[in-house]
Structure 1
Amino acid sequence: MARIVLGIGSSHSPQLSTTIDWWEDHANRDRRNPQLLGRDGELHSFDDLLAEKSWNIDESRLTPQVWTDLHGRAQDAIDQLGKVLQETDPDVVLVIGDDQEELFRDDGTPTFAIYWGDSIDDFAPDDEEQEAMAAGLRAALWAQHNDTRESYPVPGKLGLHLIESLMTDEFDVAQLVTQREGRSVGHAFTFARRRLMGEKVIPLLPILVNTYYPPNQPSPRRCYLLGRALRRAIESYPEDIRVAIVASGGLSHFVVDEELDHRVLDGLKNNDFESLSTIPRRYMRSGTSESLNWIAAGGALEGLSMELVDYVPAYRSIAGTGVGMAFAVWR
């Protein structure tokens, strides 16, 4: 029978994979963003955030010395997660992540989906698309895509089993076995390959959760229950394989919400279904919505013990914008 032997949670923000020379560029994007999710669960402009003085942070948290320390902590945490994954050497890495108009666009965005083709392709945006990107986002592409097209092996038999089991468990899951032309697997999944797997490409099974795009985003409760159903499905798979689960993305961004982040992390550590499932849905929007990937993983990993490797509140502007970067291991 299949066994879950490891869980990993990791942020994947471009800020994580760029040196501090680019952090001001990331902050400049915040200044142009009219829909920043505030700590009140409402959307604000950058100027709105500045006007709410209680949300502003001290400029002493924005110095090159502080940023260098935060960046170093994040890289050390990523290195530790990669080492644990490589030492565990599972047969399959099941990645729970969100698609940001990569495989799915407005021609169809399912709430939950599983890709179970024999392989899935990763390729960078073309030259024209890269030219249109902010410079700081281009600087982070190395952590998201290979320079040339790369195919990752997918454990399709396991994927099919999970789909069938989830359907029996009353989860309506979209299924894919091919990619549309010109659409790469998303960065939530390639990040796990490029920054965690090292030299060995482990078969990767994408579990896609629509955290970002209304109107069909799942609730925290639904995501936790999905995780529990995934665990049942994995454990009912007849082959003797060792499975690692990776939650990719989050936590709070593009406004850092340390209180919310710690509610998520404490809830996962304590298997606190009540606390996690009652997070108001208005907080699970924008980049912060990627916390749902962690919550789904938490449901699947209830049988393991979570260790928080580090939590890095990486502020990048006085208005409190940035990323609440989190790194955890379940074993």
Structure 2
Amino acid sequence: MAKIVFGMCVPHSGMLGQAPEDWLNNGERDRKNPELWYRNRTWSYPELEAERKAAFEPFLTIEERTERAGRCRKALDEMAEAYKRAAPDVVIVLGKDQKEIWPDQSPSITVYTGEEVHNGPPQRPVYAPDHHVVHQAYPQLATYLIETFQEQGFDLNDLQAWPQNTWMASRQGYAPDYPVVPHAYSFVYHQIMGDQVPRHVPVLFNLFYPPTQPSMARCIQFGRVLRDAIEAWPEDVRVAVIASGGLSHFVNDEEFDRRVMGMLASYDYDGLAAIPNGYYQSGTSEVKIYSIVMMALQHTGAEMTLVDYIPCWRTAAGTGEGMGFMYWDPAVTAASKKEAA
């Protein structure tokens, strides 16, 4: 029978691929955004700066940015090492499409049942190697998951072939003759797996775009069904569940992030579900799929390892991204308990 042996939640921000000298470049985009989500409502940039009293100006120096960029790189390396140590045979990768492959539709939850996943240019270097690579998916497991979820009251979209990545083609100026995977997945393949990707099932959630966003409560339910389905899969394989995205962005909210991380560490599903949905909007919506990892690992007794949390700012109003790096490894938990005894 399959066994869940590892879980991970990792940000996939483009800032992680930028030199600290370039971190402020997207600040102009934030200043022009009329709907910055922060604490259950939208704000214009002037409103946000007035509300937060431009308190984040001291964190915009090149010294601050360099120190935080270094911590992010160190945390990513440790996350990749933790994944390598766990040595899973199969991975469930949870992410989303951000109008990259579906500019005109937003399916709520989708499972990819095709054979292959493509990565490479025109994805930026933080997301892909400098050449075309093909990774093997796991259509048999993917189809089984859809059938299992259907039996449990979920109606899922079956993605049988990747569409062309129109967003990357428009941004980078050309379209390759292969369908580049959305960045939520390519980041995991490249930064965590080092382009050595095992059989895996990509699951896409519409986290950004109303009205088909699954709620936090629905994602928690998804995690329960996923856990039970994996444990019932007859193949003798070691399975990892990885969520790509989060924490708070594009308005960075350190207080909220630390509250959420505390709930994740304590398996507090009720607390996560009780947070108003207005907090889980824009990029912060990616936190919803963290609950799936938490649900998948709870029965193993694993404790959350928080590698680091680094708020990364790009304007005085506190826009930017909260970078939280965390994983669950039952073997690490068992070893630490044995050492403590």
Give the alignment's TM-score, normalised by structure 1. Answer: 0.91
Deviations 1:263-307 (A, max 9, x none): 221111101111011111111111111111212222222223211
**8 A contact 1:102–1:184 mirrored in 2:** no
Q: Secondary structure at the match of 2:298?
A: coil
When residues 86 and 110 of structure 1 are mapped into structure 2, their CA distance, relative to the original with a 3 A threshold, is same
Partner of 2:4: 4
Instruction: Give the match's secondary structure for 2:128.
Output: coil
Percent of pairs identical after alignment? 39
Instruction: Give runs of aligned pairs for residues 57-96 of structure 1, distance below 5 A.
Output: 57-96=55-94
**Structure 1 partner of 2:282:** 286
Match of 1:201 in 2: 197
Answer with 295-304 or 41-50: which moved more: 295-304
Relative distance call for 1:240 and 1:53 in structure 2 (3 A) is closer
Q: Which amino acid aligns with 1:41?
A: N
The one of 107, 110, 113 equivalent to 1:110 is 107
Whole-Å separation in 1 of the counterparts to 2:132 and 2:102: 19
| One-letter identity of the residue aligned with 1:164 | E
- Structure 1 partner of 2:216: 220
Map 1:181-200 → 2, pairs under 5 A:
181-182=164-165, 183-198=179-194, 200=196
1:153 aligns with 2:136: yes
Q: Which of residues 307, 310, 314 in structure 2 aligns to 1:309?
A: 307
1:177 and 1:311 map into 2 onto residues whose CA distance is: 37
8 A Cα contact 1:249 1:290, kept in partner? yes
Q: Is residue 98–residue 293 contact of structure 1 (8 Å, CA) maintained in 2?
A: no
Distance in 2, Cα, partners of 1:57 & 1:229: 43
SS at match of 1:143: coil
* Separation (CA, whole Å) in 2 of partners of 1:98 and 1:199: 20
Hey, what's the Cα distance between the residues in 2 that align with 1:141 and 1:281?
32
After TM superposition, give the deviation of residue 330 of structure 1 in Å.
0.3
Partner of 1:29: 29
Which residue of structure 2 lines up, in the alignment, with residue 230 of structure 1?
226
Partner Cα distance (1:77, 1:50) in 2 = 30
Q: CA deviation at 1:69?
A: 1.1
> Aligned letter for 1:102?
E
- Aligned with residue 257 of structure 2, among 251, 254, 261: 261
1:326 equivalenced with 2:324 (yes/no): yes
CA–CA distance in 2 between the matches of 1:309 and 1:156? 33
Residue correspondences, number: 314
Pick closer, same or farther for the CA change 1:211–1:62 going to 2, 3 Å.
same
After superposition, the C-alpha distances for 1:153-179 in whole angstroms (9 at most, x for unaligned) are 001111111111111111111111212
Shift of 1:146: 3.9
Shift of 1:203: 2.1
1:58 Cα offset (Å)? 4.1
8 Å Cα contact 2:246/2:322 also seen in 1:
yes
Q: Which amino acid aligns with 1:150?
A: V
Q: Is 2:56–2:315's contact at 8 Å kept on the other side of the alignment?
A: no
- 1:327 positional shift: 0.3
- How many Å apart are 1:23 and its aligned residue? 0.6
TM-score (norm 2): 0.88
Instruction: Note if 1:144 corresponds to 2:144.
Output: no
Q: 1:264, 1:295 within 8 Å by CA — same for their partners in 2?
A: no
Bigger drift between 291-300 and 275-284 goes to 291-300
Counterpart amino acid of residue 214 in structure 2: P
1:53–1:115: structure 2 CA closer, same or farther, 3 Å change rule?
closer
Q: Equivalents in 1 of 2:59, 2:21: separation in Å?
A: 16
Give CA-to-partner distance per residue, 1:30-49, whole Å, 9 cap, x none: 112221112x3211121111
Q: Which runs of 5 or more residues in structure 2 are unaligned?
A: 166-178, 330-341
User: In the aligned structure 1, how far is the partner of 2:274 from the partner of 2:236?
Assistant: 36
Equivalent residue number for residue 45 of structure 2: 46
Q: Measure how far apart 1:53 and its partner are.
A: 3.9
Contiguous gaps of at least 5 residues in structure 1: 126-139
Task: Give the superposition deviation at 1:76.
Answer: 0.6
Deviates more, 1:110-119 or 1:257-266: 257-266
Contact residue 98 and residue 211 of structure 1 kept, 8 A: yes
Alpha-carbon distance in 2 for matches of 1:118, 1:86: 24
CA distance in 2, matches of 1:242, 1:146: 26
User: Pick from 194, 207, 210: which aligns with 1:211?
Assistant: 207
